[in-house]
Amino acid sequence: MIAAAPSLEQRRLDGIHPNYKQSAHNLLHYLALRRVDLRLVQRRLASLGLSSLGRSESHVLGAVNAVTRVLQDLAGKAVSITSFPEAVDMELGELLLRDHANQLLGCETPGRPVRIMVTMPSEAASDGTLIRRLLEKGMDCMRINCAHDNPVIWAQMITRLREAEASIGRKCTIVMDLAGPKLRTGPLEPGLAVLRIRPNRDAFGRVTRPARICLSSKAYALKTGPSPESEGHGEVVFPVAREWIASLQIGDILQFNDTRGALRTLKVCEITPSQCWVETDQTCYLAEGITLGKKPPDAGCATKIPDGGGRTAQIGRLPAQENYITLREGDTLWITRDQVLGHPTQFDEQGNVTAPATIGCTLPEVFDSVEPNHAIWFDDGKIGGIVEAVEPVLIRVRITQARPKGEKLRADKGINLPDSSLRLSALTERDIEDLDFVAKNADIVELSFANTAQDVEDLQSRLSKLGSRRPAIVLKIETRRAFENLPEMLLVAMRSPCCGVMIARGDLAVECGFERLAEVQEEILWVCEAAHVPVIWATQVLETLAKGGMPSRAEITDAAMGHRAECVMLNKGPQIIRAVSTLDDILRRMQSHQAKKQSMMRELHLARPMPVDPQKSRV
């Protein structure tokens, strides 16, 4: 281990900040130790009642020395132990990690050493109550995602935070996440402007709530939520002439033939000067140009809508629906270098494919790094494929993974190329523009898609040119390449006075394979503990709770695993306040059971004396 830090490693230690001098040596010693298989040695040490070195990350050389000394005494032999001035013992290792976590994330919350980070929704800019309630429930770090909103909105969020801090007397760390070079699918041709309207039905097919439609003279058609004048009604809005709406009365019956030619009726139930609301118990398909007509009282079940006398009106222009490409195993997908509108697979009248599905990508420079047989994934791993050919203007992909019924691929969805060494800088032009605001306002800057030591150096260099106030750096590990380069990136990050790592498990799972995620995130935790670098546990923590109000059992277990990090990140959602409260409770309970990899042996409830049944006891 000591021999692992000669001149070859010394260049990596050049420029290490004094805060991390001992930590950098400990990291190199740990990496040296883990280059060999120690499992047999561990079993033999454990059989003697000694430390198996399985929890030595933070003080690896000190642990080896301690075990060696005990073995000397047991063997009755004196073995020379080389002294090393940078050696860290157990107490110092824990202290260094705790101090670095306090510097990066702020002081611990009493009773809970693991911090809680929350990503801000856009409405936090105007809703100071939301931020104040999050602080009250246990938020320690406020995260602003620079991929959304703008500096004006970010400044308003920070203002609301400062107001909340003053109100409740609690500090909060500001974290700003640079967007990075996210590879995404390009735009698609607009879909058809056709909307299906259907009522709610029970299991027997009986209507429990009619479908509600708003006819309006305004141009904000096809909204699926309350319209500006609908007084809270949630319905779909279709444009028609104002004069025709004015001629309607409550109780009128409207007839029309939908896009299939099926005769359908609507009943007028509410009217204002520019809008009316109608209801139907029938499923219908509506599109631009469909004629609506008032049914005369004596018309019976006429199939032809009477015209004349202002009794009819046409549905006006409708915005096109969002389009998508349905992909199944075996399908072909072309990815184009340019941003020409993509389209689904096209067929002739006999059902033969005339043109494969096509979609663009946001970063055409990746074409220079992709090769045949490379894996490719779309939309957080929902769709998988293999690159069959790379041409100057397109990449031909064969789909190998999708649900049997097909998976929908839409515009602006993530693309992952885990086998390709993409030559992309972690800092985009937009990131460089955002850095000016970040350097002046954030306590932490998160570097997205950090893949190499050079990416870390570039960020440090740019921050040094933006004034004396420099936020701490957090490396987001979200690609296979970043995982493989983590030790070298850590040694560069430790040139700064404060740094950390985020395990961004969304993209990381896709890049490394979902089956490997547990192993990969474990290794990241070990290496960062050896470097005394705080870790943020992120992506989909209590996500269904934050979004829907009810967590899954797996999510609760996952959140408890987050206790092994120094911080756990929650994403935004309607139930985020409840999610923060739940996470706070989980982390407080776990601190009595687990510290990193070490089980804490507090009093165990199950170990209480079992009650004695007097009828079964014997003298």
pLDDT in tens, 399-458: 999 999 999 999 999 999 999 988 899 999 999 999 999 999 999 999 999 999 999 999
443 and 488 in a single domain? The answer is yes
Provide the 8-state DSSP code for 98.
Answer: H
Q: How far, in Å, CA of 290 to CA of 266, rounded? A: 13
- Residue 164 is encoded by which pair of tokens? 């909340």
For residues 202-226, one letter each, b for 16 or more C-beta atoms within 10 angstroms of the residue's C-beta and e for the rest, the string is: eeeeeeeebbbbbbbbeeebebeee
Whether residue 208 has pLDDT greater than 60 = yes
Q: How far, in Å, CA of 369 to CA of 276, rounded? A: 57
**pLDDT of 531-543, one tens digit each?**
999 999 999 999 9
**pLDDT of 494-510, one tens digit each?**
999 999 999 999 999 99
Q: Which of 96-110, 494-508, 597-611 has the lowest mean pLDDT?
A: 597-611
- Residue 339 is encoded by which pair of tokens? 């941003």
Specify if 619 maps to a domain: no
| Percentage of the chain exceeding pLDDT 90 | 73
pLDDT-derived band at 7 (thresholds 50, 70, 90) equals: very low
Q: Identify the residue whose tokens are 């018309």.
A: 299
156 and 108 in a single domain? The answer is yes
Report how many domains make up the chain.
4
Distances (CA, A) of 153 to 145, 159, 429, 576: 11, 10, 20, 20
* Mean confidence (pLDDT) of the chain: 89
Which of 247, 279, 314 represents a domain boundary (last residue)?
Answer: 314
What is the chain's alpha carbon radius of gyration, rounded to the nearest angstrom? Answer: 31
Whether residue 601 has pLDDT greater than 70 = no
Which of 416, 433, 458 represents a domain boundary (last residue)?
Answer: 416
**pLDDT of 255-267, one tens digit each?**
999 999 999 999 9
254 and 345 in a single domain? The answer is no
Whether residue 86 has pLDDT greater than 50 = yes
Whether residue 377 has pLDDT greater than 90 = yes
Whether residue 151 has pLDDT greater than 60 = yes
Q: How far, in Å, CA of 41 to CA of 339, rounded? A: 58
At 398 the pLDDT is 97
Specify if 60 maps to a domain: yes
The tally of CA atoms less than 13 A away on the side-chain side of residue 197 is 28
Q: How far, in Å, CA of 251 to CA of 135, rounded? A: 52
At 231 the pLDDT is 36
Whether residue 16 has pLDDT greater than 70 = yes
At 297 the pLDDT is 61
Where residue 280 sits, what CATH number does that domain have? 2.40.33.10
At 226 the pLDDT is 36
**Averaged over 23-32, what is the pLDDT?**
92
pLDDT-derived band at 299 (thresholds 50, 70, 90) equals: low
Whether residue 31 has pLDDT greater than 60 = yes
112 and 57 in a single domain? The answer is no
Specify if 608 maps to a domain: no
At 351 the pLDDT is 85
Specify if 618 maps to a domain: no
pLDDT-derived band at 223 (thresholds 50, 70, 90) equals: very low
447 and 579 in a single domain? The answer is yes
106 and 253 in a single domain? The answer is no
At 109 the pLDDT is 92
175 and 210 in a single domain? The answer is no
430 and 524 in a single domain? The answer is yes
451 and 348 in a single domain? The answer is no
Whether residue 83 has pLDDT greater than 80 = no
pLDDT-derived band at 221 (thresholds 50, 70, 90) equals: very low
Instruction: Yes or no: say if 397 and 388 are a contact pair by the CB < 8 Å rule.
Output: yes
pLDDT-derived band at 224 (thresholds 50, 70, 90) equals: very low
pLDDT-derived band at 311 (thresholds 50, 70, 90) equals: confident
Which backbone phi and psi does 532 adopt, to 5 degrees?
A: 55, 40
443 and 496 in a single domain? The answer is yes
Q: How far, in Å, CA of 152 to CA of 62, rounded? A: 51
Specify if 204 maps to a domain: yes
164 or 73, which is more confident? 164
Q: How far, in Å, CA of 526 to CA of 486, rounded? A: 11
- Residue 51 is encoded by which pair of tokens? 């430390």
Q: How far, in Å, CA of 377 to CA of 390, rounded? A: 16
- Residue 489 is encoded by which pair of tokens? 């990136």
pLDDT-derived band at 309 (thresholds 50, 70, 90) equals: low
At 234 the pLDDT is 45
Other C-beta atoms closer than 10 Å to the C-beta of 375 total 18
Q: How far, in Å, CA of 284 to CA of 195, rounded? A: 8
pLDDT-derived band at 460 (thresholds 50, 70, 90) equals: very high
Specify if 88 maps to a domain: yes
Specify if 525 maps to a domain: yes
| Percentage of the chain exceeding pLDDT 70 | 90
301 or 21, which is more confident? 21
pLDDT-derived band at 304 (thresholds 50, 70, 90) equals: low
Whether residue 227 has pLDDT greater than 50 = no
Instruction: Yes or no: say if 285 and 313 are a contact pair by the CB < 8 Å rule.
Output: no
Q: How far, in Å, CA of 445 to CA of 471, rounded? A: 6
Region at 235 (left for phi over 0; alpha for psi -120 to 50; beta for the rest): beta
492 and 585 in a single domain? The answer is yes
At 519 the pLDDT is 92
| Nearest to 139, CA basis, from 156, 167, 161 | 161
604 or 212, which is more confident? 212
**Averaged over 607-618, what is the pLDDT?**
61
243 or 295, which is more confident? 243
592 and 549 in a single domain? The answer is yes
pLDDT-derived band at 612 (thresholds 50, 70, 90) equals: low
Q: Residue 64: which domain range? A: 2-93
**Averaged over 374-387, what is the pLDDT?**
96
Specify if 615 maps to a domain: no
**Averaged over 381-388, what is the pLDDT?**
96
At 592 the pLDDT is 79
